[in-house]
């Protein structure tokens, strides 16, 4: 039936694909996949599936998805477009373009702006979904517009950043099925200088101070170096990178609640320097720091567990080679319960969970 629906859309249909092959956590059961390598095919495919009320899952790089072992009962639409066009004041990329290629090409063409977002896996089209960010920069700050398929109306239109409800690792596009990103356009700095450096570790590595700028190419190289040291650049040979990046978001709590957390940290850990960051909604704590102080060290619980914390970074949950989604969820539950018990903070997962709950 799905085959009949999609026969004229330009999608390539593949039945019974193990979704583990399409995700960076390398877990997830089987599903029918409709691969779309043109924007026209994407639009036609999603419109046809929506009209027939077939459940769909949009998947691009699979680097922010934890899919259950039963797979997905519907059609996975694989975003496989790839065109990137750089012009005088920025870059336009199709949704499926590999994000790091977009960053590399803009830096090589002499543009600044995206360099701090080097090395993040996945696609250009997914970057607005969770307002991808790293080293003090978020895509929301550079995005000029996003071309969307409105799945309720069936229409294609450009949306301004102001319409997308950007926040810390979120937007109106996350956890919702009513829009498909088709293209993204970023306004960049033709001077070739980086955005002002806002992250101490990065600025330090470049011999710079907070707020300084540097050639974008230098910043990109340093970001890639720092990320590789934390297992945050994909490397098939390194199980620490068989992850979805940070598994939990950094929790933001009210100023009042922050004082209670500080008291709990002092009581349990006896430490006075607690890394916190100002946030429009209160105070942001470091999830990785809380996890570590709750007693979960890097690599927890160690072999022979099939899923462990990364040996380089407590915030990444990783597949050591044979893990199933259930192993990762079970580890996530243990870590979340430990942090809640010790500090009264319930961590929220950053990846999108499909067919599985925490």
Ligand X SMILES: Cc1cc2nc3c(=O)[nH]c(=O)nc-3n(C[C@H](O)[C@H](O)[C@H](O)COP(=O)(O)OP(=O)(O)OC[C@H]3O[C@@H](n4cnc5c(N)ncnc54)[C@H](O)[C@@H]3O)c2cc1C
Nearer to ligand X, 45 or 63 (CB): 63
Catalytic residues: 169, 246, 350
Query: Shortest CA distance to 143 belongs to which of 160, 158, 157, 126?
Result: 160
CB 266, min distance to ligand X, A: 30
Residue entry with tokens 């999830």: 287
Could you say which DSSP state residue 234 is in?
Answer: -
CB 148, min distance to ligand X, A: 8
Q: How far is CA 301 from the centre of its chain?
A: 25
Query: Shortest CA distance to 24 belongs to which of 246, 251, 334, 348?
Result: 246
CA–CA distance, 29 with 110 (Å, rounded to integer): 43
Nearer to ligand X, 63 or 311 (CB): 63
Quick check: 198 and 279 in contact, CB under 8 A? no
48: β partners: none
95 binds ligand X (CB under 6 A): yes
**Which residues contact residue 265 at a Cβ distance below 8 angstroms, ignoring those fewer than 6 apart?**
271, 274, 293, 343
Nearer to ligand X, 220 or 342 (CB): 220
CB 130, min distance to ligand X, A: 5
* Position among 243, 276, 314, 318 found at the interface with ligand X (CB under 6 A): 243
CA–CA distance, 87 with 350 (Å, rounded to integer): 33
* Position among 30, 90, 121, 161 found at the interface with ligand X (CB under 6 A): 121
123 binds ligand X (CB under 6 A): yes
* Position among 20, 103, 114, 126 found at the interface with ligand X (CB under 6 A): 126
Per-residue contact track with ligand X, 60 to 89, x per CB under 6 A? xxxxxx-------------x----------
Q: Cβ–Cβ contacts within 10 Å for residue 198, how many?
A: 14
CB 167, min distance to ligand X, A: 12
31 binds ligand X (CB under 6 A): no
Angle at 169 between CA 165 and CA 174, to 5 degrees: 60
Q: Which stretch binds ligand X (CB under 6 A): 105-113, 237-245, 250-258, 319-327?
A: 237-245
* Kind of pairing between the strands at 75-79 and 30-36: parallel
Torsion of CA 81, 127, 170, 50, to 10 degrees: -10
CB 98, min distance to ligand X, A: 9
**DSSP letters along 144-157, please?**
EEEEEEETTTTEEE
56: β partners: 75
CB 314, min distance to ligand X, A: 14
Structure tokens at 141: 């700050």
* Position among 28, 71, 112, 133 found at the interface with ligand X (CB under 6 A): 133
129 binds ligand X (CB under 6 A): yes
Nearer to ligand X, 75 or 134 (CB): 134
Q: Which stretch binds ligand X (CB under 6 A): 7-15, 67-75, 116-124, 331-339?
A: 116-124
Where on the chain is the footprint of ligand X (CB under 6 A)?
A: 24, 58-65, 79, 95, 120-123, 125-127, 129-130, 132-134, 173, 180-181, 232, 234, 241, 243-245, 352
């Amino acid at each position: 039936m799905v085959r009949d629906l999609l026969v004229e859309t330009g999608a390539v249909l593949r039945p019974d694909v193990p979704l583990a092959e399409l995700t960076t956590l390398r877990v997830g059961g089987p599903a029918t996949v409709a691969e779309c390598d043109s924007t026209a095919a994407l639009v036609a495919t999603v419109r046809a599936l929506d009209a027939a009320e077939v459940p769909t899952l949009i998947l691009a790089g699979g680097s922010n998805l934890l899919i259950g072992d039963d797979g997905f009962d519907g059609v996975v639409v694989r975003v496989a477009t790839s065109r990137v066009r750089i012009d005088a004041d920025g870059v336009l990329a199709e949704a499926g373009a590999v994000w790091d290629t977009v960053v590399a090409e803009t830096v090589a063409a002499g543009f600044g702006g995206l360099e701090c977002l080097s090395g993040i896996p996945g696609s250009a089209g997914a970057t607005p979904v969770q307002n991808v960010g790293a080293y003090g920069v978020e895509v929301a700050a550079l995005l000029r517009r996003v071309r969307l398929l409105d799945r309720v109306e069936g229409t294609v239109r450009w949306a301004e950043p102001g319409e997308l409800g950007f926040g810390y690792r979120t937007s109106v596009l996350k956890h919702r099925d009513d829009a498909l990103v088709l293209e993204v356009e970023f306004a960049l700095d033709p001077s070739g200088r980086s955005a002002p450096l806002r992250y101490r570790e990065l600025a330090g590595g470049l011999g710079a101070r907070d707020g300084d700028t540097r050639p974008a190419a230098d910043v990109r190289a340093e970001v890639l170096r720092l990320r590789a040291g934390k297992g945050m650049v994909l490397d098939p040979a390194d199980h620490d990178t068989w992850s979805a990046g940070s598994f939990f978001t950094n929790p933001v709590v009210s100023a009042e609640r922050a004082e209670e957390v500080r008291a709990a940290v002092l009581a349990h850990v006896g430490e006075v320097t607690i890394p916190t960051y100002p946030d429009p909604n209160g105070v942001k704590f470091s999830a990785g720091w809380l996890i570590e102080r709750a007693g979960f060290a890097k690599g927890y619980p160690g072999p022979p567990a099939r899923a462990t914390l990364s040996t380089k970074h407590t915030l990444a949950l990783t597949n050591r080679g044979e893990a199933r989604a259930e192993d990762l969820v079970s580890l996530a539950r243990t870590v979340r319960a430990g942090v809640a018990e010790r500090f009264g903070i319930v961590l929220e997962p950053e990846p999108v969970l499909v067919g599985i709950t925490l």
